[in-house]
């Protein structure tokens, strides 16, 4: 019997977390049935604690970790992250980190409660503790394939974030083999610690009766004409604008065709931009924006559609493709990233960058009834290969492996850029060792720093051990005795700045102070440097 903590603090009400939220909840529901001998402690926040009460059960309980009354306001820079992952790097991720540092989350939260393993379905290992194995899920490395959707600062944040996850997590689960290969290539992870487990949650969709479908479609004003369906939040990589271009071309070439286009998804600002584009195209009566829908209405929209159209430029997996095949809907989708690996021979593929390709597929599916029937039959067969029980067994196998083979904490430093700059924090991990070891850290504040003084806090997983400050133009050396056990020290820096915003070049990184070197001094006075290029 094991106690597994599950970090659910990033879950927001409504549809902002998209597929990741749905996936995490369905996965936990399955754990309740499949792993009755294990216990799961859900780490929640004030804004989602009651919403997640649906998961309460004999082997699953909630613990409200973040109890502030107000959720953080979104920050303009990070609010534009495509994909669910922006929560980990944007407002919620930063808020969680800030809360954990200021005492909202007690130190040694997991160890004090007897937790055996931390599971992070939203990637960030925010509450990782030395000696407790951590399993994180990675959904995509989209910024590597489509850097044009991100600012240089955002790319830097995502790269740093992913490096930290790869260092903190004992095991990483990827939602497709496409993602796993990207993780192996870009993060240089150990293949034995990196696993593939497909997102097999398609069985959550039920088939409502015709009366219910008609009632919901009528309420949503999509009952009069047949329609194709695209369920996706309005992020740039979802490629809505290209689909609208192709749809306009299709109607121009087929003026008598009565096929409408239906969108569902969150992100109001992006939705409003698309609505304006639709109005300019003269398609306001043919394109329907339904927003984020509750499950019952979403099922009715699915069951009432003619087929799924999925022009996404990048997918870590592609849950809607599997959902469409499982309920007998033909699939027209992009031929990129993970999608061919999910749909196999059960989809009609197009190049999502070429509207003419999309038009050709639309014309085929609307003119060839035999093709439609063939895709439906192939889809049923293909979907049967993605079994939810296989997904659950894979996760439980990874948990068992992590519990039986958790990796010791190693001597390493994270949170430093290659040129030695520290951002908001720096983490120094250390393995067990002899008495009288000392951590020595040299930091400097350049003379051109915007702030006259930089404040530093050095803490372990229990308390702040040192408070220091560095004046502009000065350098200090920090010495801290190391315990014999493994652990970590975290150096936090305030204030931080961005050179580009202070008219100091075009560097968009968030910087705090310069690290000149980090060493472990051993009892025999030998020194081990933890930084490449650090001063001897």
Cα–Cα distance measured from residue 349 to residue 334, given in angstroms and rounded to the nearest whole number: 6
Residue 310: the pLDDT is 98
Please say whether the dihedral angle defined by the alpha carbons of residues 240, 242, 248 and 251, taken in this order, is positive or negative: negative
Between strands 453-459 and 464-471, the pairing is: antiparallel
Q: Mean pLDDT, to the nearest integer, of 349-365?
A: 98
3-class DSSP state for residue 14? Answer: coil
Q: 443: burial class by Cβ within 10 Å (0-12, 13-18, 19+)?
A: buried
Q: What is the pLDDT of residues 132-149, one digit of tens each?
A: 999 999 999 999 999 999
Report the mean per-residue pLDDT for the chain. 88
What pLDDT, on a 0 to 100 scale, did the predictor assign at position 409? Answer: 61
Residue 419 has phi, psi (to 5 degrees) of -90, 10
Predicted confidence at residue 524, as pLDDT, reads 93
Q: Select the more confidently predicted residue: 105 or 212.
A: 212
pTM: 0.73
Q: Check pLDDT > 60 for residue 104.
A: no
pLDDT in the model for residue 131: 82
Short-list 346, 256, 362, CA closest to 306: 362
Confidence of residue 205 (pLDDT cuts 50, 70, 90): confident
Decide if pLDDT at 418 tops 90: no
Q: Please list, residue by residue across 281-290, b when 16 or more beta carbons sit within 10 angstroms of its beta carbon and e when fewer do.
A: eebeebbbeb
- Structure token pair of residue 434: 């002899």
SS3 state at 32: helix
Structural domains of the chain in order of their starting residue, each with its CATH number: 3-200+390-404 (3.40.50.2000), 203-385 (3.40.50.2000), 412-529 (2.60.120.260)
Q: Look at 47-61, 254-268, 411-425 and tell me which has the smallest mean pLDDT.
A: 411-425
Mean pLDDT of 244-255: 97
Residue 7: which pLDDT band, with cuts at 50, 70 and 90?
very high
For residue 69, name the pLDDT band (cuts at 50, 70, 90): low
Are the CB atoms for 31 and 60 separated by under 8 Å? yes
Q: Which residues contact 534 (CB under 8 A, 6 or more apart)?
A: 420, 515, 516, 517, 518, 519
> E strand or H helix at 112, and its extent?
helix 109-112
- The phi and psi torsions of 434 (rounded to 5 degrees) equal -75, 170
pLDDT tens, position by position, 236-249 = 999 999 999 999 99
Which residues, other chains included, contact 168 with Cβ-Cβ below 8 Å and sequence gap of 6+?
Answer: 125, 128, 134, 136
Please tell me the predicted confidence (pLDDT) of residue 107: 52
pLDDT at 532 over 70: no
Per-residue confidence (pLDDT) for residue 223, from 0 to 100 = 84
Percentage of the chain modeled with pLDDT above 90: 67
pLDDT reading at 84 higher than 70: no
233 pLDDT tier (thresholds 50, 70, 90)? very high
What's the pLDDT at 90? 44
Average pLDDT over residues 50-61: 95
Output DSSP code: residue 130: T
Q: Are 332 and 190 in contact (CB under 8 A)?
A: no
Q: What is the pLDDT of residues 458-510, one digit of tens each?
A: 998 678 999 999 999 999 999 999 998 888 898 999 999 988 888 888 777 88
Q: Which helix or strand (DSSP H or E) is residue 157 part of? A: helix 152-168
pLDDT at site 73: 41
């Amino acid at each position: 019997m094991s106690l597994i903590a599950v970090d659910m603090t990033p879950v927001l009400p409504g549809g902002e977390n998209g597929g990741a939220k749905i996936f995490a909840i369905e996965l936990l529901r399955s754990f309740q049935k499949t792993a009755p001998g294990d216990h799961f402690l859900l780490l929640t926040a004030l804004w989602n604690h009651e919403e997640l009460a649906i998961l309460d059960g004999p082997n699953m309980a909630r613990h409200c970790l973040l109890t502030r009354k107000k959720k953080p306001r979104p920050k303009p820079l990070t609010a534009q992250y495509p994909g669910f992952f922006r929560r980990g790097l944007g407002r919620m991720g930063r808020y969680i980190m800030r809360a954990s540092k200021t005492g909202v989350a007690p130190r040694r939260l997991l160890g004090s409660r007897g937790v055996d393993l931390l599971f992070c379905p939203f990637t960030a290992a925010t509450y990782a503790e030395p000696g407790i194995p951590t399993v994180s899920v990675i959904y995509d490395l989209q910024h590597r394939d489509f850097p044009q959707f991100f600012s240089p600062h955002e790319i830097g944040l995502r790269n740093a974030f992913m490096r930290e996850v790869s260092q903190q997590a004992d095991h990483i689960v990827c939602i497709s083999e496409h993602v796993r290969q990207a993780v192996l290539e870009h993060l240089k992870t150990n293949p034995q610690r990196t696993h593939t487990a497909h997102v097999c949650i398609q069985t959550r969709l039920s088939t409502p009766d015709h009366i219910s479908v008609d009632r919901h479609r009528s309420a949503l004003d999509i009952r009069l004409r047949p329609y194709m369906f695209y369920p996706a939040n309005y992020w740039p990589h979802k490629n809505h604008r290209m689909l609208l271009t192709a749809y306009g071309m299709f109607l121009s070439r087929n003026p008598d065709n009565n096929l409408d286009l239906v969108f569902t998804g969150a992100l109001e600002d992006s939705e409003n931009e698309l609505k304006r584009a639709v109005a300019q195209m003269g398609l306001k009566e043919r394109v329907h924006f339904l927003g984020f829908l509750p499950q019952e209405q979403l099922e009715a929209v699915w069951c009432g559609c003619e087929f799924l159209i999925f022009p996404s430029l990048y997918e870590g997996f592609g849950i809607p493709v599997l959902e469409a095949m499982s309920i007998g809907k033909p699939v027209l989708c992009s031929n990129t990233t993970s999608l061919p690996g999910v749909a196999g021979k059960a989809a009609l593929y197009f190049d999502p960058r070429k509207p003419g390709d999309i038009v050709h597929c639309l014309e085929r599916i609307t003119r060839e009834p035999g093709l439609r029937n063939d895709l439906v039959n192939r889809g049923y067969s293909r979907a049967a290969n993605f079994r939810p029980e296989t997904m659950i067994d894979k996760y439980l196998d990874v948990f068992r492996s992590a519990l039986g083979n958790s990796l010791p904490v190693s001597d390493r430093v994270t949170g430093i850029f290659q040129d030695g700059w520290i951002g908001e924090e720096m983490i120094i991990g250390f393995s067990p060792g002899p008495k009288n070891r000392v951590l020595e850290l040299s930091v400097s504040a350049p003379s051109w720093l915007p702030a006259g003084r930089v404040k530093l806090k050095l803490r372990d997983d229990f308390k702040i051990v040192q408070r220091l400050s560095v004046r502009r133009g000065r350098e200090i050396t920090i010495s801290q005795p190391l315990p014999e056990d493994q652990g970590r020290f975290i150096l936090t820096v305030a204030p931080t700045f961005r050179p580009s915003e202070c008219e100091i070049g075009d560097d968009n990184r968030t910087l705090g102070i310069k690290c000149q070197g980090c060493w472990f001094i051993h009892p025999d006075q030998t020194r081990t440097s933890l930084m490449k290029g650090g001063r001897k």
